[in-house]
Amino acid sequence: MGVVSSLTGRTPVAPPPSVEVLVVGAGPTGSAAAIWAARAGLDVLLLDAAVFPRDKTCGDGLTPRAMAEMDRLGLGGWARGHATNTGLRLMGFGREQVIDWPDRAFPTTGSAVRRTVLDDRIRREAITAGATMIDGARVTGIEYDGARVAAAEVTIDGAVHRVACRVLIVADGVRSPVGRMLGRTWHRDTPYGVAARAYIASDRHDDPRISSHLELRDAAGTLLSGYGWIFPLGDGTVNIGAGSLQTAARPARAPMRPLLAHYVDRRREDWELTGEAESFASALLPMGGAVEGVAGANWALVGDAAACVNPLNGEGIDYGLEGARLLVDLLTARGLGADLTRAWPLLLSTHYGPSFALARRLAGLLTLPRFLPAAGPVGMSSQALMTAAVRVMGNLVTEQDTDLVGRTWRAVGRGAERIDRRPLFGASG
């Protein structure tokens, strides 16, 4: 049975001494993994260092791909009860294109739910599914038995506990402290994002479309490689944010807080923004599988920890939810004793390799100072190009898509994958 512990004003809970599956991190990825593992009848312990409900810096957007996973989890109706959107309004370079979510492999509506609410709901579903959950519980060490992880050291309210496990699922987010203990490395020479969000009251809080501005400029008018967004939350507010792409060789120069303040000013009139922007927060975004060391004999990194974020839009909840399901499917198909060292990076690169390789290349082009000013106006003037871009930016191209966009995306993606200096996710063979 599930246990919820919060340290505030309550007696700390001791974790069980051993479990079959230990999941670190109760963001969407970890909680989804715990749900699937518990539903498969496994004995699951889900831990998070934070006390829930906790915030996570995010645009709060659930793409149709994320909604497909929410539906699988049985939470789609719940999400649609918050905010729904039917597509994207793309703006920039003097143009506007309004594009519906494609009617293909995924639902035709997206959603947007504050992460304080979304993550707590998925976490509670994990408890309902039978996982034991302890929040305020940080994994602070790893104990090995040869190449396998034998146990995790878990610190709760200053007390250190040992939890033995057969499999360790690491869903500890972008900085992945546990992944780093296990040897994960992140390659900053490929594009990564820096993004910031805030909340602000808006009379258009229930607008049926999310909005992306592809011509993002700082207060001095300099064009940046990134985009601004407004995601209506249906609760009187919108999530407003901006993200820019960079690489170690071409770092973005604009500090995020003034950039976002400027963006809010620019959007104030058309989005009927009232009051001041609140809860500003920014974060880094490793993207497109630009990590290696994502698995070992009996452990695997998933979600942001494995850099499963779309390099063109910074979205990763969908890949986190999907990756969690794929990982548990792999574990249940092969058994808990299966060696994940090669199997998991190979599975990740089979599913995401071509898309991420190509998106990384495009993101790299966008960091070149002359590319965006030349390509932006051309792209925005074509409804066909932008319709294709929405599928790409919305994580909506699948391996099964056989139309021109799907075939081109995959073929060019495979080419990009072949010329990548390092294989994505460190996968080989």
Ligand X SMILES: Cc1cc2nc3c(=O)[nH]c(=O)nc-3n(C[C@H](O)[C@H](O)[C@H](O)COP(=O)(O)OP(=O)(O)OC[C@H]3O[C@@H](n4cnc5c(N)ncnc54)[C@H](O)[C@@H]3O)c2cc1C
**Contact residues for ligand X, defined by CB under 6 A:** 24-30, 47-50, 56-61, 66, 138-139, 171-174, 177-178, 195-197, 241, 283, 285, 303-304, 309, 314-318, 320
Q: Residue 287 CB, nearest distance to ligand X (Å)?
A: 9
CB 120 to ligand X: min, Å: 11
Q: How far is CA 29 from CA 83, 135, 206, in A?
A: 21, 15, 27
| Least distance from ligand X to the Cβ atom of residue 242, Å | 8
Q: How far is CA 179 from CA 25, 43, 84, 184, 393, in A?
A: 11, 22, 34, 5, 28
Q: Minimal distance in Å, beta carbon 155 to ligand X?
A: 9
Cβ closest to ligand X, residue 172 vs residue 417 = 172
Q: How far apart, in whole angstroms, are the C-alpha atoms of residue 339 and residue 258?
A: 48
Least Å from the CB of residue 319 to ligand X: 7
Residue 129, CB-side half-sphere exposure with 13 Å CA sphere: 27
For residues 29 and 298, which CB has a smaller minimum distance to ligand X in the complex? 29
Minimum CB distance to ligand X smaller for 30 or for 76: 30
Pick between residue 51 and residue 412 the one whose CB is nearest to ligand X. 51
Q: Which is nearer to ligand X, 64 or 406 (CB)?
A: 64
> For ligand X, which is the closer residue by CB, 42 or 66?
66
CB of 411 to ligand X, least distance (A): 26
Name the minimum Å distance from CB 368 to ligand X: 23
The residue type found at 309 is V
CB-wise, 4 or 50, nearer to ligand X?
A: 50
Min dist. Cβ of residue 139 to ligand X (A) = 4
Q: Which is nearer to ligand X, 126 or 372 (CB)?
A: 126
Q: Is 204 exposed, middle or buried (0-12, 13-18, 19+ CB in 10 A)?
A: middle
Position of tokens 């920039």?
92
Question: Toward ligand X, which CB reaches closer, 32 or 273?
Answer: 32
In the complex, the smallest distance separating the C-beta of residue 116 from ligand X, rounded to whole angstroms, is: 11
Q: How far apart are CA 96 and CA 212, in angstroms?
A: 10
